[in-house]
Amino acid sequence: MGLQLLGCAQQLAADVGERVCAVLVGHKVDGFIPTLFEYGADVVYHVDAPELEKYRFDTYTKALVELTREFSPNMFLLGATHIGRDLAPRVSRRLNAGLTADCTELTIDPETKLLKMTRPAFGGNVMATILCPNTRPQMSTVRPGIMKEIEPKAGAQGEVVKVDVTFEKSDLMVTIREIVKVPKKAVNLEEAKIIVSGGRGVGSAEGFKVLEELATVLEAEVGGSRVAVEKGWISQDHQVGQTGKSVRPDLYIACGISGSIQHRAGMQTSGCIVAINKDPDAYIFKIADYGIVGDLHTVVPLLTEAFRKEFE
């Protein structure tokens, strides 16, 4: 996620004439510094301390707040991951800065040079663009998969600024006693090259088996709309959309998905979108590169068989 933000930050920094700075927080993680330079950072602020070895909101919040106060960035971007969503509001509150969460687009206003932060609002029914003219930094969390990593420049170098943060006993409000990792089949939608996704039109959990067969042949991941998740047809970790995951695969096959704003916010930057829907007026066809008007339960098995023969 951090590398995706660096790609976005390069364009933003160019538009306002500033440098791209990355923050590396942790303990004995300096091995990541060359990678940050290769992916676009001009400066890396490195905060290293034993208290930062594992993520804790108390220590990470203090580290980022002190660093931000010292160096006064114009903009501060974090990933809208589990950690980013926990950390960003704590940092913004201590800095008395505004925060726009779960953004799907970031641009610079050409006249004011303010950061324009766009996110779904009102349950995903509209897209709102928010500006923060009065406080700094302008803070935003960005959905994973929305921004694209740049091509790395091997051997790129920059400036490393080491920042010392001292932690008092009163700063440590949380004690990590044990970390338990539960084995689970990973659903890696953010990095998937192909996603076969289903919505209301799939009709049932049984209906998703048709999509799973196509996904198996294409070596793809299976996604779902909010409706499909709420009805219990597929688990929440497969959800694509404003309240799920944001993805940008090379190929996105939308089956029985109408194309609500909530869903489009999570997949509209896909390389190629193929829509399959019985309703010829479904909004999904307006953003699709290719559309098939028909019953997915008839069309998808035909596609599966055609691809299976192609790959034999």
CATH number at residue 221: 3.40.50.1220
Distance CA 200, CA 296 (A): 11
Question: How many whole angstroms separate alpha carbon 242 and alpha carbon 257?
Answer: 15
Q: What are phi and psi of 151, to 5 degrees?
A: -70, 125
Task: Compute the half-sphere exposure of residue 2: CA atoms within 13 Å on the CB side of its CA.
Answer: 16
**Domain range for residue 64?**
2-171
Q: For residue 183, is it within any domain?
A: no
* One-letter identity of residue 190: E
Residue 229 counted as domain residue? yes
CATH code of the domain covering residue 140 = 3.40.50.620
Residues 71 and 140 in one domain: yes
- The verdict on residue 188 lying in a domain is no
Model-level pTM?
0.73
Domain count, the chain: 2
CA distance 263 to 157: 39
pLDDT tens for the chain, 312 residues: list them.
789 999 999 999 999 999 999 999 999 999 999 999 999 999 999 999 999 999 999 999 999 999 999 999 999 999 998 899 999 999 999 999 999 998 989 999 999 999 999 988 776 667 899 999 999 999 999 988 788 889 999 999 999 999 999 999 888 888 888 888 776 566 789 889 999 999 999 999 999 999 999 999 999 999 999 999 999 999 999 999 988 888 999 999 999 999 998 899 899 989 999 999 999 999 999 999 999 999 999 999 999 999 999 887
In this structure, is residue 145 part of a structural domain? yes
Asked if 44 and 100 sit in the same domain, the reply is: yes
Q: Are 106 and 140 in contact (CB under 8 A)?
A: yes
Query: Is residue 103 in a domain?
Result: yes
- Let me know whether 63 and 139 are in one domain: yes
Three-state secondary-structure class, residue 116: strand
In a domain, 7, yes or no: yes
Collect all residues with Cβ–Cβ distance below 8 Å to 111 and sequence separation of at least 6. none
The reply to whether 254 falls in a domain is yes
Same domain membership, residue 162 and residue 33: yes
264, with CB counted inside 10 A (0-12, 13-18, 19+), is buried
Rounded Cα distance between 144 and 148, Å, is: 10
27, 164: one domain: yes
Do 166 and 284 fall within a single domain? no
Residue 149 sits in the same domain as residue 238: no
In a domain, 12, yes or no: yes
Assess whether 35 and 144 both reside in one domain. yes
Contacts of 159 by beta carbon, 8 Å cutoff, 6+ apart: 42, 43, 44
